[in-house]
Amino acid sequence: MLKHGSPQDIRSMFNRMRTEVRGLLKEIVALVYYMRGSVQYEDMIMRTPVERELIGEFINERFEQEKKNPHPVY
């Protein structure tokens, strides 16, 4: 794409990549926040996408369980 794409195509590709990276970093910041310091930012960046997805699912499951608890612990 970079060799044969038009300047507009290349600009569009870089804008899409910038948006994806920004979304990824926001996800990492949220995961680190909800892990309450048990995982550092740099360590979370080094995780694979599957690992980050599983950690996110685990956190969401815990939130759902705690909603049912009369004395939730977040």
* DSSP structure string for 9-31: HHHHHHHHHHHHHHHHHHHHHHH
Residue 19 forms part of a structural domain:
yes
38 falls within a domain: yes
Full residue range of the structural domain in which residue 52 is found? 7-68
Residue 26 lies in a domain: yes
Confidence of residue 1 (pLDDT cuts 50, 70, 90): low
15 inside domain: yes
The answer to the question of residue 73 being in a domain is: no
Residue-by-residue DSSP string for 36-54? TTSS-HHHHHHS-HHHHHH
Domain count, the chain: 1
Average pLDDT score over residue span 19-31: 96
Give the C-alpha separation, 67 to 61, whole Å: 10
Residue 56 lies in a domain: yes
Whether pLDDT at 15 is above 90: yes
Would residue 1 count as lying in a domain? no
pLDDT surpasses 90 at 2? no
pLDDT tens sequence across 35-59: 888 999 999 999 999 999 999 999 9
